[in-house]
Chains A and B, each alone.
Chain A
Amino acid sequence: MTLARDLSLASAADAAQVLRIDKVSKRFGTFTVLDDCSIDVSEGEIVTLLGSSGCGKTTLLRCIAGFLTPEKGAILIDGRNTIPVPVNRRPVGVVFQSYALFPHLTVEGNVAYGLKMHGVPRREIARRVADALASVSLRGFETRYPSQLSGGQQQRVAIARVLVLEPRVLLLDEPFNALDAKLRGTMQVELRELIKRLGMTAIFVTHDQEEALTLSDRIAVMRGGRIEQVAPPDEIFDRPATAYVADFIGLSNFIPAEVRDGKVTLPDGQTLATEAQGPVRVMIRPHNLRAIPQGPGPWQGQVRFQRNVGPLIEYTITAGQSDMHVVALRRDRIRPWGEGDAVSLEVIDPEFCKVYPEA
């Protein structure tokens, strides 16, 4: 009875899993670009591969698309290993960084291209192209050429061109790079809503953490060909698994400390329980620090720099040897600290700090 229920649970979990990247490694010559990468992606999930340039995120995307073949590991789509499947037979749709729209074909020609290559009958092509263009709100643009479209419209054609083939996985390689900064914010939200509405499973590649935090259900932070952490955006931000992730996502303060009796003493005298041992680094987010009028507290500092960022005030406060980043919410009745002011620092919630072994 229990066994049967376990089995049905397992198969339900399998069914929901669309893409499985299993211990994939890839080298260029003697240089290892991907080192034992594993991620499971469920149906309808948006996962972002996030990392600085050279971390392997684009290489992993190109392996999934089939433009590159990994030396080790497997890439499974719906439980089938796709490594031996040629590029043009894989159920994945790629939205390229440059969009790669065919300049000699109209919008309609671009969207119909894949259907033609798959030998879909003409009448069905017309219907499906119309549907795809409607889903990205591009009806009426059929006869335009890519050069006659704005960046945002080109991006939507690129998406319609792959959506029309109903791929199992959508791969997007830095799709907002070609757009100007103002447009990006709204396009990110729109794209997420579109993918969710269509129930697509998608993998994004980006180096922009804000983009990753906006778009993703889960973020995979990559570094040097390895995946450091895969987790939902909140968790990545609040509980970074490694010091690298903490440093990469958002602004962080790192303070050297020593573990004694399973506890770390913070500079303001509060303590924090930890399982780590020996010399460690404590990470404190800038919004978990408070600058208060100088008092008898052990953590004294001086405001070196302050700037207003809309609703927030950012301070750089020199305390002892190091500069601490502090962020405070801007409020009417509280006068912000000025440069040169002497202050005391305190941690708002010690539980919110993270302890990492000294690198």
Chain B
Amino acid sequence: MRLPDRLAIGDLLGTATIVALGLFALFLLVAPSVIVLIISFDTRAFVSFPPQGFTFDWYLRVFEQRVLVEAMLNSLQVGITVTLLCIILGVPTALVCVRGQFRGTTALSIFVLIPHMVPGIVLGVAVLFAAAAIGVSPSIGLQSISITVFVLAVMVRTLMSRLQRMDPALEEAAANLGASPFQTLRTVTFPLLMPAILAGAVFTFIEGFDNISVAIFTHGFRDRPLPVELLALVQTTNTPLVAAVSGVQIVLAIVALILVASSIGLDGVND
């Protein structure tokens, strides 16, 4: 079948526009990270683009500076704590919100979302004041808990969308075949929820590691997390060292995403 020429041209223009827009969006998403990575290999001692020369020196220096390494370890600790807390709190919350047979499940699922809707700074300040009022001083623990409150919604939403798409007959079948409620949870619900738990874990870990808006108010005085340390560094120096620290974070995020995507597939991450 032959299509009129005008339509073919219109089609071509439309496709070209969509491709161009797509490429532009991709550029906006990727460019900052790429530029930071490029700068981090610059041989000059000040941040400038385009770079001249190529060196790994800045990365070696990152790991030579005790403050930065400690900040990294602090952030790692926060990231892991936040992830574990989100799993421990998120799984039961999502189960109740989706499978709960009582009034108020919708209210609960919205309630969990609220902290995520509040700007991080507001949450951070609120936690700081509240903690001071009950005599708790900022620490890695406080920072972990407040970031958990902040990102729990991500975990719960991820799990909820998976649960909502899970055939409720699967759990009924397990019960019908003799499984107790706990056995059903262990042998059917959990295994089927696992991809969503992993996907949620990646996002909550990255948030725990990366968050600054909440962390800046709640981190321990001596236990600065990496983003806070980085902010301090930007204010005092102008070397590609800052870019190298960012580079480490970018690589970490990419590795985490690849690990999860390869184990559960990108569809799991999309949940």
Contact = CB atoms under 8 A, between A and B. Distances in A.
Interface of A: 65-67, 87-90, 92-94, 96-98, 100, 102-104, 113-114, 117-118, 161-162, 165
Nearest to B183: A117
A96 B167 CA distance: 11
B191 interface: yes
Nearest to B180: A88
7 contacts: A67-B172, A93-B176, A100-B169, A102-B188, A113-B187, A117-B180, A162-B176
B192 interface: yes
B125 interface: no
A94 B180 contact: no
A261 to B, nearest CB: 58
Contacts of A114: 177-178
Nearest to B169: A100
B170 to A, nearest CB: 5
Contacts of B167: 98, 100
Contacts of B169: 96-98, 100
Contacts of A102: 170, 173-174, 188
Contacts of B188: 102
B145 interface: no
A113 B174 contact: yes
Contacts of A161: 173, 177
B175 interface: yes
B170 A88 contact: no
Contacts of A113: 174, 177, 179, 187
Contact of B175 (A88, A97, A104, A162): A88
A103 B172 contact: no
B176 A87 contact: yes
A97 B170 CA distance: 11
A100 B178 contact: no
Contacts of A67: 172, 175
Nearest to B173: A100
B176 A65 contact: yes
Contacts of B174: 102, 113, 117
Interface string B28-64: 0000000000000000000000000000000000000
A104 B179 CA distance: 16
Interface string B10-27: 000000000000000000
B176 A92 contact: yes
Contact of B191 (A88, A93, A104): A104
Given A88-B175, A165-B178, 12 more contacts: A65-B172, A67-B172, A92-B176, A96-B172, A98-B169, A102-B188, A117-B177, A117-B183, A117-B187, A162-B176, A162-B177, A165-B177
A154 to B, nearest CB: 13
Nearest to B181: A88
B178 A117 contact: yes
B155 to A, nearest CB: 21
A114 B188 CA distance: 12
Nearest to A114: B177
Contacts of B191: 104
A240 B177 CA distance: 38
B163 to A, nearest CB: 14
Nearest to A167: B176
Contacts of B173: 94, 96, 100, 102, 161
A174 B174 CA distance: 19
Contact of B170 (A65, A66, A100): A100
Contacts of A93: 176
Interface in B147-179: 167, 169-170, 172-179
Nearest to B184: A88
A67 B187 CA distance: 19
Contacts of B187: 113, 117
A89 B179 CA distance: 9
B176 A88 contact: yes
A114 B183 CA distance: 11
A146 to B, nearest CB: 11
A86 to B, nearest CB: 8
B196 to A, nearest CB: 13
A102 B192 CA distance: 9
A65 B173 CA distance: 10
B268 to A, nearest CB: 13
A135 B15 CA distance: 56
Given A100-B167, A104-B192, A118 B178 contact: yes
Contacts of A88: 175-180
A67 B101 CA distance: 13
B176 A94 contact: yes
A66 B176 CA distance: 8
Contacts of A162: 176-177
Which of A87, A97, A103, A104 has the largest count of B CB atoms less than 10 A from its CB?
Answer: A87
B183 A100 contact: no
A90 B177 CA distance: 9
B104 to A, nearest CB: 17
Name which of B174, B177, B191 has the most chain A CB atoms within 10 A of its CB. Answer: B177
Contacts of B183: 117
A359 to B, nearest CB: 38
A90 B167 CA distance: 22
A102 B183 CA distance: 14
Contact of A117 (B170, B172, B179, B192): B179
A161 B178 CA distance: 12
Contacts of B172: 65, 67, 87, 94, 96, 100
Contacts of A97: 169
Contacts of A87: 172, 175-176
A103 B162 CA distance: 14
Contacts of B177: 88, 113-114, 117, 161-162, 165
